[in-house]
Structure 1
Amino acid sequence: MKKRRLVMRTTILVILAAAVAYTLYANLTKDNRMKVEVGKQAPDFVLVDMEGKKHKLSDYKGQGVFLNFWGTWCKPCEAEMPYINNQYNHFKDMGVQVLAVNVSESELAVNQFIERKGLDFPNVIDTDGQVQAAYGINPLPATFLIDKNGKVVKYHTGQLTEATVAEYMEKIKP
């Protein structure tokens, strides 16, 4: 009877240890599993903006694209939006485009956010999360700098300052 309990306890401990080890491994290596690599072609996609206009990433070839993933509930996203808007208005005539991808929120929430912040650049909604999955986005905000040839130049996760946004847009200016 005692031997049986010992075997059961040992089996349970081994299973728990394996689960903990796997969880640690998965969390520590998730950054190495980025789906979009710097220097590689950015995955193409088509999303619709708030006015119903389709935006296909490959249509922006020849221009730099500041691709930003965000959510209305994300405080760092909210904080960086005015900086992105200011720099978009400065760089848009120099061949730099901003494409802001909202991660699966309602049109109403996104439109209210855009109006409240007075945003001028295109905002699209990734309703089914396919673009977010293709780019391996986690956490928000996440920004990809894409050059005029459609290649990823840089990936940044976390809140941006206005100086950093300006520096990044300068970097992808054709």
Structure 2
Amino acid sequence: MKNKKNRLIMRAVVLAVLAAAIVFTIYTSWAKEKYEVLQVGDIAPDFALIDLDGESHQLSKYKGQGVFLNFWGTWCAPCKKEMPAMGLQYQVYKDQGVQILAVNIAESDLKVRAFAEQYGMVFPTLIDTSKSVMQTYNVKPLPTTLLINPDGKIVKIITGEMSENDIKGYMEQIKP
């Protein structure tokens, strides 16, 4: 009797896991179709987000400048490694018409502020609280960086960690 009960419970658990997997698969395929995948050559979709100082940053206001659009998280090890290098290159390129917009994915203001101070983030640090910009840009792994030229076109999409030399080269590519 006990054996039958155990088998019944086991079958119910397996069935529940399978049902959850099916529901998850259906949902993710539906969600993927909801957002068009951006590609090199596309115009970067406009957005507006607030930085840690309460200032609004709208992508379209940067037309005429190169934009290094970086999506990151405080828990992301590669993000921690590349932030200081991004800061150094920002100091070199900001007066040459290249901006960095660092978009954090829905973390608390307190966490993002502490991270920004720890890693010396001197460029605009924005928080995508609703993940709407992340979804619009189809950002999957963090970090993801999009290089946007002065005309507002995406010229490169980089996923994963970048070295300081990589960052310097990318900033050269989008310099007006």
Post-superposition Cα deviations, 1:66-122, rounded to whole Å, max 9, x if no partner, equal 000000000001110011101000000000000000000000000000111111100
| TM-score relative to the length of structure 2 | 0.81
Give the structure 1 partner of residue 109 of structure 2. Answer: 107
1:58 maps onto 2:60 in alignment: yes
Paired residues, what number? 150
C-alpha separation in 2, matches of 1:156 and 1:118: 22
Displacement, 1:37? 1.1
Post-superposition Cα deviations, 1:1-46, rounded to whole Å, max 9, x if no partner, equal xxxxxxxxxxxxxxx8xx89xx6xx89xx8xx86211101001000
Give the structure 1 partner of residue 125 of structure 2. Answer: 123
- SS state at 1:93 partner: helix
1:150 maps onto 2:146 in alignment: no
C-alpha separation in 2, matches of 1:156 and 1:117: 21
Give the structure 1 partner of residue 89 of structure 2. Answer: 87
C-alpha separation in 1, matches of 2:49 and 2:38: 18
C-alpha separation in 2, matches of 1:97 and 1:46: 15
Paired AA for residue 155 in structure 1:
I
Give the structure 1 partner of residue 166 of structure 2. Answer: 164
Paired AA for residue 154 in structure 1:
K
Give the structure 2 partner of residue 77 of structure 1. Answer: 79
In the alignment, structure 1 segments of 5+ residues that lack a partner are 1-15
Give the structure 1 partner of residue 142 of structure 2. Answer: 140
> RMSD over aligned Cα, in angstroms?
1.9
| TM-score relative to the length of structure 1 | 0.81
Kindly report structure 1 stretches of 4+ aligned residues shifted beyond 6 Å. Answer: none
- SS state at 2:61 partner: helix
C-alpha separation in 2, matches of 1:34 and 1:158: 21
C-alpha separation in 2, matches of 1:34 and 1:70: 21
Give the structure 2 partner of residue 6 of structure 1. Answer: none
C-alpha separation in 2, matches of 1:137 and 1:172: 20
Using the aligned pairs only, state the percent identity.
Answer: 54
- SS state at 1:101 partner: strand
Paired AA for residue 87 in structure 2:
N
C-alpha separation in 2, matches of 1:159 and 1:55: 25
In the alignment, structure 2 segments of 5+ residues that lack a partner are 1-17
